Amino acid sequence: MTPWLGAQQPKPPAAQEEDLPVIKVDVDLVNVLFSLRDKKNALIGTGKKEDFTVYEDGKQQDIKVFARETDLPLTIGLLVDVSGSQDRLIPEERSAAGQFFDQVLRKKDMAFLISFGAEAELLQDLTGSPRLLREGLGQLRLNAGVGGLHPGPVPTAKQRGTILYDAVVLAAEEKLKQEVGRKAIVLITDGVDMGSTYTRQQAIEAAHRADTMIYSVYFADFRGFGGGGEGDLKRMAEETGGRFFSVGRNQSLSDIFRQIQEEMRSQYVIGYSSTNESRDGAFRKLEIRPTDKNLKVQARKGYYAAKR
């Protein structure tokens, strides 16, 4: 399998002025997907327009679009860590992911599969076929870096053990940015990055510019080595409007996939025209407040206005 862009040295995006989550908006209407949960973290599917207030930079906005999006097509990128620390977990990842694709994909839905370790490999391009995705999953193999079992073809100046952030950027920019509808990256890893060209914040920025949520799944082999990246995974999920999960005794990878599927089919969309008419590319804070204080909105925290 030829590494997919993993051997390239991508040009990092421009540094952000603020370390804040963003939504890139190219039209006047600001559209935001979100989930609604109660105190017990259960999804609520009965929300109405009058149950929410939207604020941009602290100023209330007039909601023009409100809907529960259960049938909007999904585009999902599954990114699987195959670095040395994940070697014994690959069979479970392969099995659970196959079930996930079988259950979640409907007509018009698309998915692709990327493995990442010392390099990133596109194992299956965008397709609506669970069969093709399963075949891609069958190609998951250890990629432990230069000097490992499957060394990358182009050695680099420093050890590249797990290019997690590079994989997220490549998936967002090369596969998801041009797609429409609901988009998500499902990231299965122990959260440890070693050797990426991009930083965590640049990975978050790339996801936002592609209007993509990140569902981070912390999966570590505590019998061997690895683990410790929960904080970074939580940050990526929370800032993009996704969720963080952890595989453990009380929650299997299959359980987590079922929860992700349920959430992606139970989202709302709010649309409004900003009262700030300037198009200067500046960051704007975004907040969706539910009238019922016992409910919690899960959404992105802001966006960059489009330049004109």
| Residue in 248, 255, 250, 256 with CA at minimum distance from that of residue 227 | 248
Place of tokens 């994909």: 105
The distance of Cα 239 from the centroid of its chain, to the nearest Å, equals 10
Q: How many domains does the chain have?
A: 2
Residue 229 is predicted with a pLDDT of: 83
SS3 content of the chain, % helix, strand, coil (to 5): 25, 30, 45
Cβ atoms of 134 and 98 closer than 8 Å: yes
pLDDT given at position 149: 32
pLDDT tens per residue across span 226-252: 557 899 999 999 999 999 999 988 899
pLDDT of residue 225: 54
- Mind listing the pLDDT tens digit for each residue in 136-186? 999 999 886 643 333 333 333 344 579 999 999 999 999 999 998 889 999
Predicted model pTM: 0.83
Q: What angle do CA 223, 226, 231 make, to 5 degrees?
A: 125
Residue 88: per-residue pLDDT: 85
Report yes or no on 233 lying in a domain.
yes
Residue 36 has pLDDT above 70, yes or no: yes
Q: What is the mean pLDDT of residues 114-127?
A: 95
- Strands lying side by side in the sheet with 302-304: 59-61, 52-56, 283-290, 302-304
> Domain containing 273 — which CATH number?
2.60.40
Q: Identify whether 14 is part of a domain.
A: no
Residue pLDDT, tens place only, 187-211: 999 898 999 999 999 999 899 888 8
The closest of 156, 182, 247 to 31, measured between CA atoms, is 182
CA distance 266 to 177: 23
Are 252 and 134 members of one domain?
Answer: yes
d(CA 118, CA 253): 24
- Are 64 and 272 in contact, with CB atoms under 8 Å apart? yes
Same domain, 35 and 176: no
Is there a contact between 152 and 160 (Cβ–Cβ < 8 Å)? yes
pLDDT band for 104, please (50, 70, 90 cuts): confident
Same domain, 161 and 282: no
Assess whether 193 and 247 both reside in one domain. Answer: yes
CATH number for position 106 = 3.40.50.410
The residues, ordered by sequence, that sit 6+ positions from 151 with a Cβ below 8 Å of its Cβ are 118, 144, 145
* Three-state DSSP state, 174: helix
Predicted confidence (pLDDT) per residue in 81-100, tens digit: 998 888 888 898 899 899 88
Closest CA to 269 of 31, 30, 38, 43: 31
pLDDT at position 156 is: 37
Q: Same domain for 272 and 197?
A: no
> Domain range spanning residue 171?
74-264
Q: Which residues contact residue 88 at a Cβ distance below 8 angstroms, ignoring those fewer than 6 apart?
A: 221, 223, 224
Q: Which string of DSSP letters, residue by residue, matches 35-77?
A: EEE-TT--B-----GGGEEEEETTEEE-EEEEEEESSS-EEEE
Interval 248-301: pLDDT, tens: 888 999 999 889 988 988 899 999 999 998 888 777 889 999 999 999 999 988
Whether 260 and 142 share a structural domain: yes
Instruction: Check residue 196 and give its pLDDT.
Output: 95
| Residue pLDDT, tens place only, 37-95 | 999 999 999 999 999 999 999 999 999 999 997 778 899 999 999 988 888 888 988 99
Domain co-membership, 233 together with 110: yes
52 occurs within a structural domain: yes
Distance CA 185, CA 187 (A): 6
Q: At what angle do helices 90-104 and 130-137 cross, to 10 degrees?
A: 170
Structure tokens of 180? Answer: 């429409």
Q: Are residues 126 and 55 in the same domain?
A: no
With respect to residue 9, please indicate whether it lies within any of the assigned structural domains: no
CB 19 within 8 A of CB 301: no
